[in-house]
Amino acid sequence: MRKIVSMPGDGIGKVVLPEAVRVLKAAGFEAEYIHADIGWEFWCNEGNPLPERTLKILDEHKIALFGAITSKPKAEAAKELAPGLRDKGYVYYSPIVGLRQHFDLDICTRPCKTFKGNPLNFIRRGKDGIEEPEVDVVIFRQNTEGLYCGVEWTDPPDEVYKAFNTHPKMKKFASCPKEELAISTRIFTKKGTERILRAAFEHASKFGYKSVTVCEKANVIRETSGMMLAMAKEMVTEYDGIDLWSTNIDAQMMWLTKNPENYGVLVSGNMFGDIVSDGFAGLIGGLGFACSANVGENVAIFEPTHGSAPKYASYERSIVNPAAMILSACMMLDHIGETEKAKKIREAVLEVVSEGKVKTYDMMKLTGSQEVLDNGAASTAEMTDAIIEKL
């Protein structure tokens, strides 16, 4: 039987992941789920939110579902360590960022597709009244390099400072004392850039998207964004019928609401991909619907974009929307070739959403609280049940 690693993590991750597994089962997907530890509890009790044993399990089984983890700033995290572990040099880092780096999960895919009838869909004023544009965008975000690669310093070491000062543009920082300098670098490699572009073009070609948009800022960030755009211009010549567009991240965030239906596949570096994918997700229902895949050469991890929503974690009957996790599980099915089952589940979600009879609190635009269940909102389990019923 196929083995799937299950990493619920913290907070509502523990709630939504089992719901997705229920749906997978109902769709006829047979698997053995292998639990792996990750998250806050393991930071507090072991000084490591991503234990070695979890890396081993992933190494062995390759395909994983992930819920969400809780992250806190360094100093706050240090205070919550078990007394015996304090002042022993443990430093907190986000285990999901750790996973992406460790397994080189360099391709992040975030589809944003409108479910018709979702009351959270973006609407705008058009020439002839209110319009509801149908969004069908897939964002490819380079997941391991760029501004999130972690190469950064405050008060950089002398040799780094010296090296930076060989750049003529450093002159304008000459009057700033070294200890007052904070530097975060943005590193793109040709290999990483090639891989994310290739993934974007291949997806566009396979699923009939008419355009691939490089969303960066090549006019200002000329080396990194510039390299991505130049490589895309070469690559597009291999793909008949696909146009290459280029937008700047700032302008793209404005056009997002002007003409989102005009975009197909978007491709960006790490940070701009993070930004633009949240932007598009907002048009199709937000965190309750935003799903994602982190894919490397050997390991692939599927997760909702949302976090652990700690304020809802302890509810006796959970209120959060399981759709983002369920749709992430569909991405997993696609990845392992179970496309029919993925399609069936997406259709079931669409049916429930369009019917509009069963809605979680976010779809009713209510403020989250335990009372929403008395005011007509479906619980997490009821939403899942409705989807399973359609299956």
User: With binding defined as CB under 6 A, does residue 70 bind ligand NAI?
Assistant: yes
Q: Which stretch binds ligand NAI (CB under 6 A): 21-29, 224-232, 258-266, 308-316?
A: 308-316
Among 96, 112, 331, 345, binds ligand NAI (CB under 6 A): 96
User: With binding defined as CB under 6 A, does residue 308 bind ligand NAI?
Assistant: yes
Closer to Mg ion by Cβ: residue 292 or 318:
292
User: With binding defined as CB under 6 A, does residue 307 bind ligand NAI?
Assistant: yes
Smallest gap from residue 384 Cβ to ligand NAI (A): 12
Could you tell which of ligand NAI, Mg ion, none binds residue 56, using a CB distance below 5 to 8 A set by kind? none
Q: Report which residue's Cβ sits closest to Mg ion.
A: 274
Binding mask 194-223 for ligand NAI (x = CB under 6 A): ------------------------------
Binding mask 348-367 for ligand NAI (x = CB under 6 A): --------------x-----
Q: Report which residue's Cβ sits closest to ligand NAI.
A: 307
Smallest gap from residue 136 Cβ to ligand NAI (A): 22
Name the pairing type of β-strands 129-131 and 124-126: antiparallel
Closer to ligand NAI by Cβ: residue 248 or 308:
308
Given the rule CB under 5 A, which residues bind Mg ion?
Answer: 274
